[in-house]
Structure 1
Amino acid sequence: METLPTGISVLDREFGGGLPSGSVVVLKADPASQSELIVDRFSRPRECRYLTTVRSADAVEESLTLDAEDGDDGDERDHETVVEEVDHEDPIDDVLAAAADLPERATLVVDSIEPLEAADRSRYGPFLTDLRRHVDDAGGIAVIHALKGETGTNRVVTEQVADVIFDLRTTVTGTEVVNRLIVPKFRGGAALEEPLKLKLTDTVSVDTSRDIA
């Protein structure tokens, strides 16, 4: 099983080079957080098909361009990222069609999963199974951006099928905004034993400041 870089150097070091190929990754985050910066980083290392279910393709392309210019590691987008809006009437078929046509070792991003989770359980479960099979056939990675809030019952299915779960927790105190990344699930590897404190401004970096109780 090949290991593919995440695009975030500190995570790659923690995971011994990256994530196992064929993995379905779920990034859970608050809608008001800077989690899109993390999704952007996942799209950089390899050819990527970026499927947007809520924002317009133009808005996504603009944010990807801006983020790539401000990379904290000096990373540039050396591979093509194709951004597409999914059919709002039937997003499941659009995502599966893109997954079936995923180039070898490429990344498939679904941003965000909530419109698909609104489908009946009888259809959503098989969708995730087919998505995982297509990604595994391509030897790539699927990144599912899953926003927290009033999620339906299918969120449990999303997390159950996922091979890796990144849980971004954002807390606001009187003096700062703190972002901690927790990895409670990692098939084919070792989950992080402790939360990873991140700085999410216009870039993604590790926050080395000490917490003051």
Structure 2
Amino acid sequence: METLPTGISVLDREFGGGLPSGSLVVLKADPASQSELIVDRFSRPRECRYLTTVRSADAVEASLVLDEEREGDNGDGTEGDDGDTVVEETDREDPIDDVLAAAADLPERATLVVDSVEPLEAADRSRYGSFLTDLRGHVAESGGIAVIHALKGENGQNRTVTEQIADVVFDLRTTVTGTEIVNRLIVPKFRGGAALEEPLKLKLTDTVSVDTSRDIA
């Protein structure tokens, strides 16, 4: 099984080069967090089809351009851009068919981003489960990776289905205190590899890097 870089060097080191090809990856995060930075980095190492279900394509493209202007190795942070990203808006009422069509046409070893998954999870459980199974099949056939951005909040029972079918689950936990904002990335599930034994403390400002500051109780 081939390993594909994530676009975030610290994660690639932790996972022995990246994520297994054919993986369905879920990134869970608070809506008010800087999780979009992580999603943007996932889109950069290879060709990418970026499907936005809520934001406009123009807004997504603008954020990707800003990220590209800041690219470069930041010491455990971001790496260069080696692929083209095509951003498309899905049908706001019924995005499932658009996502499956993009997955079926995914270039070899490319990345498919779904940002975010909540409109798809609104489908009935049977249809949504079939959708995820078909999505995994298309991604495995292309030898690429699918990244699903899953925002935390008022999620129904289909969020359980999302996490159950996913091969890898990233859980970004953002804690706000009176003096700082702390972001910890937890990897509780890694099918085909080893999950992280401890949370990874990240610094999410305008880039993604390791937070080397010490926790003081």
TM value normalised by structure 1: 0.98
| Distance in structure 2 (CA, Å) of the matches to 1:71 and 1:211 | 28
Q: Secondary structure at the match of 2:97?
A: helix
Q: Is the 1:171–1:177 Cα contact (8 Å) retained in structure 2?
A: yes
Q: Is the 2:72–2:80 Cα contact (8 Å) retained in structure 1?
A: no
| Distance in structure 2 (CA, Å) of the matches to 1:119 and 1:51 | 17
Does residue 1:146 correspond to 2:147, yes or no?
no
Deviation at 1:89, TM superposition (A): 2.1
Q: Is the 2:109–2:144 Cα contact (8 Å) retained in structure 1?
A: yes
Deviation at 1:127, TM superposition (A): 0.2
Q: Secondary structure at the match of 1:133?
A: helix
Runs of 4+ in structure 1 over 4 Å off: none
Structure-1 residue corresponding to 2:200: 196
Structure-2 residue corresponding to 1:7: 7
Structure-2 residue corresponding to 1:180: 184
| Distance in structure 2 (CA, Å) of the matches to 1:143 and 1:24 | 6
Which of 91, 96, 110 is equivalent to 1:92? 96
Identity %: 87
Does residue 1:19 correspond to 2:14, yes or no?
no
Q: Which ranges of structure 2 fall in alignment gaps of 5 or more residues?
A: none
Please list, as runs of the form range in 1=range in 2, the aligned pairs for 1:104-115 lying within 5 A after superposition. Answer: 104-115=108-119
Residue 130 of structure 2 aligns with an amino acid whose one-letter code is P
| Distance in structure 1 (CA, Å) of the matches to 2:28 and 2:107 | 26
Q: Is the 1:50–1:81 Cα contact (8 Å) retained in structure 2?
A: yes
Q: Which ranges of structure 1 fall in alignment gaps of 5 or more residues?
A: none
| Distance in structure 2 (CA, Å) of the matches to 1:20 and 1:209 | 31
Deviation at 1:166, TM superposition (A): 0.3
Structure-2 residue corresponding to 1:61: 61
Does residue 1:164 correspond to 2:163, yes or no?
no
| Distance in structure 1 (CA, Å) of the matches to 2:83 and 2:192 | 26
| Distance in structure 2 (CA, Å) of the matches to 1:66 and 1:84 | 18
Residue 52 of structure 2 aligns with an amino acid whose one-letter code is T
Q: Is the 1:72–1:203 Cα contact (8 Å) retained in structure 2?
A: no
| Distance in structure 2 (CA, Å) of the matches to 1:182 and 1:72 | 25
Q: Secondary structure at the match of 1:32?
A: coil
Q: Once structures 1 and 2 are overlaid, which stretch shifts more, 192-201 or 77-86?
A: 77-86
Residue 18 of structure 2 aligns with an amino acid whose one-letter code is G
Which of 209, 213, 216 is equivalent to 1:212? 216
TM value normalised by structure 2: 0.97
Which of 123, 136, 144 is equivalent to 1:132? 136
Does residue 1:39 correspond to 2:39, yes or no?
yes
Deviation at 1:90, TM superposition (A): 1.6
Deviation at 1:107, TM superposition (A): 0.1
Does residue 1:122 correspond to 2:164, yes or no?
no
| Distance in structure 1 (CA, Å) of the matches to 2:92 and 2:136 | 22
Residue 190 of structure 1 aligns with an amino acid whose one-letter code is A
Q: Is the 2:50–2:85 Cα contact (8 Å) retained in structure 1?
A: yes
